[in-house]
């Protein structure tokens, strides 16, 4: 009698057990087309990067994480990307990039993994005459990829500058038109290149660098510096490229400059790529 009751209870319990959830992503895809990159983009996460002046700088990155997908699988497991990232703590350290890439390969059973981090990078700059300090922000990007055990790493910085038109200066009785522009520099290198050094290299190639805080004596100095150092957008990319050519550890670079023209309804653009 007791045994019968026990059996009845066991059957009742089993009848209420939930069936396993179907894993659609791991199903076969009949189209048999390999996908080069699939993953998550637009993920914001705190990171800590190396800072030449203060050893470390805390900032917030917008992150992209992708892997390849073999032709036989219908989809990847998106939640696993976040699991990999969270497994490295509440703050991602740049020194962990290689570990994160390899963890993505293992966790998602992938041959290749890609990790991109774009973030604001801050520098304190002194005005050229008064020496008053202001904080400048720049955009930096780390793009890393793992193919097997091989790691590829590209550092990118986007630097705002001032340019003054040489032609306008040459043909005008008074003054010359100038404008802000953005210089985007991407490099591969055999050794570490500091973000700060890459920013300084770009700023030294323009008519003038930008500042967040300028008093009247500073504004006068910046205006006159730009007037005395006119550069076309073509000059700008060449100036940057020459300085990069002098860095023997840089194995590849791409330099792009875009001027937001002050007297045209279009922008001026130039690009040089090496390697």
Q: What is the mean pLDDT of the chain?
A: 90
Residue 5 has pLDDT above 60, yes or no: no
In this prediction, residues 51-69 reach a mean pLDDT of 92
Specify the pLDDT at position 236: 98
Supply the pTM of this predicted model: 0.87
pLDDT (tens digit, 9 = 90+) per residue, 211-266? 999 999 999 999 999 999 999 999 999 999 999 999 999 999 999 999 999 999 99
Which residues lie below 8 Å from residue 275, measured CB to CB, with a gap of 6+? 188, 251, 252, 253
In this prediction, residues 171-193 reach a mean pLDDT of 95
Residue 160: which pLDDT band, with cuts at 50, 70 and 90?
very high
Higher pLDDT, 45 or 95: 45
Specify the pLDDT at position 3: 47
Residue 22 has pLDDT above 70, yes or no: no
Residue 9 has pLDDT above 90, yes or no: no
Residue 165 has pLDDT above 80, yes or no: yes
Residue 72 has pLDDT above 90, yes or no: no
Specify the pLDDT at position 25: 59
Residue 90 has pLDDT above 70, yes or no: yes
Domain boundaries, given as residue ranges, for the chain? 34-274
Specify the pLDDT at position 23: 57
Residue 2: which pLDDT band, with cuts at 50, 70 and 90?
very low
Residue 205: which pLDDT band, with cuts at 50, 70 and 90?
very high
Residue 1: which pLDDT band, with cuts at 50, 70 and 90?
very low
**34-274 fold:** Urate Oxidase (3.10.270)
Specify the pLDDT at position 21: 64
């Amino acid at each position: 009698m007791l045994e019968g009751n026990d059996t009845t209870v066991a059957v009742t319990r089993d009848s209420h057990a939930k069936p396993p959830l179907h894993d659609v992503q791991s199903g076969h895809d009949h189209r048999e087309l390999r996908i080069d990159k699939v993953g998550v983009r637009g993920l914001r996460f705190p990171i800590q990067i190396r800072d030449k002046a203060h050893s470390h700088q805390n900032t917030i990155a917008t992150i992209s994480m992708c892997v390849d997908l073999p032709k036989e699988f219908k989809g990847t497991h998106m939640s696993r990307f976040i699991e990999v990232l969270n497994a490295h703590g509440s703050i991602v350290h740049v020194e962990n990039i290689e570990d994160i890439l390899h963890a993505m390969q293992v966790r998602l059973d992938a041959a290749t993994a890609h990790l991109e981090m774009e973030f604001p990078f801050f520098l304190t700059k002194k005005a050229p005459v008064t020496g008053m300090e202001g904080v400048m922000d720049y955009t930096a990007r780390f793009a890393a990829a793992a193919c097997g055990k091989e790691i590829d790493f590209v550092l990118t910085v986007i630097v705002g500058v001032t340019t003054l038109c040489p032609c306008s200066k040459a043909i005008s009785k008074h003054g010359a038109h100038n404008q802000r522009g953005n210089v985007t520099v991407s490099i591969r290198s055999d050794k570490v290149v500091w973000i700060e050094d890459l920013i300084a290299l770009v700023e030294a190639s323009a008519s003038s660098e930008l500042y967040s805080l300028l008093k009247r004596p500073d504004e006068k100095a910046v205006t006159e510096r730009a007037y005395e150092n006119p550069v076309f957008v073509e000059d700008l990319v060449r100036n940057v490229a020459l300085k990069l050519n002098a860095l023997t550890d840089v194995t590849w670079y791409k330099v792009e400059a875009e001027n937001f023209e002050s007297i045209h309804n279009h922008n001026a653009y130039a690009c040089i790529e090496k390697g």
